[in-house]
Amino acid sequence: MTNDYTVQGFKAGAVVAGLKKNGALDLALIVSDRKAAVAGVFTTNKVRAAPVILSEKHVENGKARAIIANAGNANACTGDPGLNDARRTADLVSRELGINPEDVLVASTGVIGEYLDMDLIAGAIPGLTKALTPDAVPLAAQAIMTTDSFPKISSFVGRAGEHAYRIIGIAKGAGMIMPDMATMLCFILSDININSDDLKRALLSSVETTFNRISVDGDTSTNDTVLAMANGLAGNKDLHGEDYDIFAEGLRNVMWDLARMIVRDGEGATKLVSVEVKNAFSPSDALMAVKTVANSSLVKTALYGQDPNWGRIMAALGRAEIEMREDRVDIWIGDAQIVAGGLGMGAEAEKLAAEIMTLKEFSLTVDLHQGEYHERMFTCDLTHEYVTINADYRT
């Protein structure tokens, strides 16, 4: 039986290897029937997990056949033994599938500083390869979850000339989310015919405007990985011009959808908030301002408390090291303006804003009146539950 999350030429599978304490699916495999163009974007954290190091090297080849990902163990801060475990994981998959180890990409997520139980991995891979089926991408999305409360999956259907193609993306992430490319994994599959350079160009652009514009808690993980594979089975000719633009926009839409899901599923989160900074002096000022407000713990706790405490927003802007004048700043919660020219609009305006903040989704808008540059990020509130989840993460 097929579903809306199939891509021709790709199969997926998921099994319980025993890496998660709760006995849930924890090992996923995605395989292309033939070599696919591949591109990747990885964490900027200077502490880089073993699978990041290995996959970054394999992606340089521009082609790949498979992605294997485990949850429950990050295989980070594990030194040479961890890197050997990542290599062995790729080798085990390559032997089962009869492909080159360099064509296997590896990803991990979970607890940092613990070694992978390779006996569990080795024991599970034969059954994992036997479980491969075209309609199991949603199961793979489940298998890569850690503290996520739901699997994240999105799709796009487009045409290149006379040829229809599909883009499917799955992701995991709920905590350690502040990508400068969060803990997050994302795997994107397409049957479009595109070369690896153009795929990389589209992926880098999309990451910058989607995953690099979200925040849950301001932390960047050791394992952040976004991988895209395109096997060309749609049969279109070389992608260029309008066809490339449509593909790039479809890719961006899938990734925005997944990015919003990650923030909505932020650990303990009850609010999804779009933070927008308008009319900044420069592009860098716009980005710095929106990041500072979106990451402020005091702003995020006010969002949770449904308190339009605009002083916290002003304070965040004031330490953002941007061009600004306090007496020019306007602030809105939804369509309720609570600050004009740096001064509060009074109790009635704040009452209306507080009512808007009871919603699960709303916007926070700042107008700096300094220039013409805009930026937007999605953030969430900071709750008691976030502390509970992360205080007890290893226990």
pLDDT digits (tens, 9 = 90+) for 299-354: 999 999 999 999 999 999 999 999 999 999 999 999 999 999 999 999 999 999 99
As a whole number of angstroms, the distance between CA 255 and CA 38 comes to 16
Classify residue 358 by burial, with Cβ atoms within 10 Å: 0-12, 13-18, 19+.
exposed
> Which of 264, 294, 312 is the last residue in one of the domains?
264
Both structure tokens of 20: 């998660």
Q: CA gyration radius for the chain?
A: 22
When divided into structural domains, the chain yields a total of 2
Residues 50 and 145 in one domain: yes
Do 328 and 202 lie in a common domain?
A: no
- Is residue 191 domain-shared with residue 76, that is, in the same domain? yes
Residues 123 and 241 in one domain: yes
Q: Please, which residues have CB within 8 angstroms of residue 279's CB and are 6 or more apart in sequence?
A: 367, 368, 369, 370, 371, 372, 373, 374
> How many other C-beta atoms lie within 10 A of the C-beta of residue 333?
26
Residue 147 lies in a domain: yes
User: In CATH, what number is assigned to the domain containing residue 380?
Assistant: 3.10.20.340
Q: Evaluate whether residue 323 is within a structural domain.
A: yes
Question: 249 burial class (0-12, 13-18, 19+ CB within 10 angstroms)?
Answer: middle
Within a domain: residue 4? Answer: no
The residues annotated as belonging to the active site are 183
* pLDDT of 173: 79
Task: Identify whether residues 44 and 183 lie together within a single domain.
Answer: yes
Residue 5 lies in a domain: no
CATH code (residue 85): 3.60.70.12
Assess whether 253 and 292 both reside in one domain.
no
- Among 190, 198, 199, which Cα is nearest to 254's? 190
- Beta strand pairing call for 63-73 and 272-280: unpaired
* Residue 171 burial by Cβ neighbours in a 10 Å radius (0-12, 13-18, 19+): buried
Name the DSSP letter for residue 78.
Answer: -
Query: Do 345 and 227 reside in the same domain of the chain?
Result: no
pTM, to two decimals: 0.88
Report how far residue 381's alpha carbon sits from residue 390's, in angstroms, rounded to the nearest whole number: 15
Each of the 395 residues of the chain gets a pLDDT tens digit; together they read 345 899 999 999 999 999 998 899 999 999 999 999 999 999 888 899 999 999 999 999 999 999 999 999 999 999 999 999 999 999 999 999 999 999 999 999 988 999 999 999 999 999 999 999 999 999 999 999 988 889 999 999 999 999 999 999 999 976 444 545 445 899 999 999 999 999 999 999 999 989 888 886 555 678 899 999 999 999 999 898 999 999 999 999 999 999 989 888 876 678 999 999 999 999 999 999 999 999 899 999 999 999 999 999 999 999 999 999 999 999 999 999 999 999 999 999 999 999 999 999 999 999 999 999 999 999 988 877 766 656 665 55
For residue 84, being part of any structural domain is answered with yes
180 and 210 co-located in one domain: yes
H/E segment holding residue 242: helix 241-264
Joined tokens for residue 62 = 């521009």
Look up the domain containing 136 and give its range.
10-264
Are residue 219 and residue 161 in the same domain, yes or no?
yes
* First vs last C-alpha separation in the chain: 40
1 part of a folded domain: no
Please check whether residues 337 and 255 belong to one and the same domain: no
Q: Is residue 2 part of a domain?
A: no
Q: Show which of 264, 294, 323 is a domain's final residue.
A: 264
End-of-domain residue from the set 264, 295, 323: 264
Say if residue 258 is in the same domain as residue 325: no
- Structure confidence by residue, pLDDT tens digits, 244-290: 999 999 999 999 999 989 888 876 678 999 999 999 999 999 999 99
**How far out from the chain centre does Cα 202 lie?**
16
Residues at the binding site for substrate are 146, 172, 183, 267, 390, 395
> What is the pLDDT at residue 14?
98
Q: Which residues are annotated binding-site positions?
A: 146, 172, 183, 267, 390, 395
> Same domain, yes or no, for 202 and 316?
no
Is the residue at 198 inside a domain?
A: yes
